């Protein structure tokens, strides 16, 4: 437990303090019961149980008697710095209340404990002082005036923490093993905290991929190109045989079976050419539209099976029809 003593201010505080609120009857009775129980436990040597009761009694009903008893209890616990602080407050109260016997006891105890106190000195190196960090000892902030001063502390473990915004906070464990032990801690400059760079989500891949959804438009375009090629071949075939077919079937009447077969073959080739070029043109156009739509949408189309849309075609004896529904 850290103890900082402001002995010089205590008599002034007590002498200048105005009238405090009178404890309620319940507070008085509770404080008296705690005081009585605490003294019994202390006389039995059970300081661990006695001191909390005396502390609570002093909180509920402050007074010179319970303050002196609290000091004696903390001394019995081995918390000499805490007891030293309690005795200084008890001395100020005894002087204020004109209690010479208590004043004598507190004065003697202060002289006795002074040479037994352990102390911790916390200081900053010049580079650390320039950073003006916040320094705490057991949770108590140490101002600039407290740095470099030997502060009375109880035997045991203590924690010194140093922090400042933008720097890595640091903690030091200071262990005081025995009475009269003096420990010193010099603290160097703090290390700047690493700057965290925000991680941006990856941009969607808009390039075609053999395994991704964007392969769909390329496959559709390829089908269209093949269909146009097939239609072109049959179109050339129909064009080159058209004159022979017309010669064998003047005015739409064929002179023999061979002429009729040539006429039907030309008509069939023409229909296939129209259908192939029509399907191919629609497929290429659909692929282009699909690519444009994909480039403005981070979510790619679905799988190849349901991403190519629906194609419908019909071929009649003299004409052909084509329908295509794209998946967007």
Q: Give the SS3 label for residue 46.
A: coil
- Whole-model pTM: value is 0.54
Of the candidates 305, 282, 276, 204, the residue with the CA atom closest to the CA atom of residue 327: 305
Domain ranges of the chain: 25-114, 118-187, 215-325
Q: Give the SS3 label for residue 218.
A: helix
Burial label, 93 (beta-carbon count in 10 A; 0-12, 13-18, 19+): buried
Give per-residue pLDDT as tens, 79-100.
Answer: 999 999 999 999 999 999 999 9
Examine domains 25-114 and 118-187 and report if their fold is the same.
no
Give per-residue pLDDT as tens, 283-312.
Answer: 778 778 877 777 665 444 444 444 445 555
* DSSP string for residues in 174-209: EEE-STT-EEEEEE-PPPBPPPPPPPPPPPP--S--
Give per-residue pLDDT as tens, 178-233.
Answer: 999 999 999 999 999 998 777 777 765 544 554 445 677 778 778 878 878 877 87
Class for the domain spanning 118-187: mainly beta
DSSP state of 149: S
Task: Residues 25-114: name the CATH superfamily.
Answer: Tetratricopeptide repeat domain (1.25.40.10)
Q: Where are the alpha helices (DSSP H) in the chain?
A: 9-16, 25-43, 47-60, 64-77, 80-97, 100-114, 126-131, 215-248, 257-295, 304-307
Q: What is the number of alpha carbons within 13 Å of residue 221 lying toward its C-beta? A: 12
């Amino acid at each position: 437990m850290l103890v900082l003593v402001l002995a010089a201010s205590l008599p002034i505080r007590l002498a200048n303090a105005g009238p405090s609120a009178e404890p309620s009857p319940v507070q008085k009775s509770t404080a008296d019961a705690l005081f009585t129980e605490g003294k019994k436990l202390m006389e039995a040597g059970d300081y661990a149980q006695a001191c909390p009761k005396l502390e609570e009694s002093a909180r509920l009903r402050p007074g010179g008697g319970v303050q002196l008893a609290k000091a004696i209890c903390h001394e019995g616990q081995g918390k000499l710095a805490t007891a030293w602080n309690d005795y200084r407050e008890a001395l100020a109260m005894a002087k204020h209340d004109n209690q010479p016997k208590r004043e004598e006891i507190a004065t003697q105890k202060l002289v006795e404990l002074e040479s037994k106190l352990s102390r911790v000195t916390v200081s900053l190196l010049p580079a650390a002082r320039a950073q003006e960090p916040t320094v705490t000892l057991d949770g108590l902030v140490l101002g600039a005036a407290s740095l470099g001063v030997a502060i009375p502390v109880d035997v045991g473990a203590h924690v010194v923490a140093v922090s400042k915004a933008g720097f890595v906070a640091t903690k030091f464990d200071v262990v005081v093993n025995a009475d009269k032990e003096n420990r010193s801690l010099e603290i160097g400059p703090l290390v700047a905290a690493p700057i965290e760079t925000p991680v941006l989500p990856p941009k969607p891949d808009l390039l075609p991929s053999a395994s991704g959804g964007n392969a769909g438009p390329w496959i559709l375009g390829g089908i269209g190109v093949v269909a146009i090629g097939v239609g072109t071949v049959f179109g050339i075939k129909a064009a080159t045989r058209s004159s022979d077919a017309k010669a064998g079937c003047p005015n739409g009447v064929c002179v023999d079976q061979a002429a009729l077969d040539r006429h039907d073959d030309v008509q069939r080739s023409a229909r296939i050419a129209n259908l192939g070029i029509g399907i191919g043109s629609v497929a290429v156009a659909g692929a282009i539209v699909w690519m444009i739509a994909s480039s403005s949408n981070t979510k790619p189309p679905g799988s190849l099976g349901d991403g190519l849309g629906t194609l419908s075609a019909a071929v009649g004896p003299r004409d052909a029809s084509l329908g295509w529904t794209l998946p967007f």
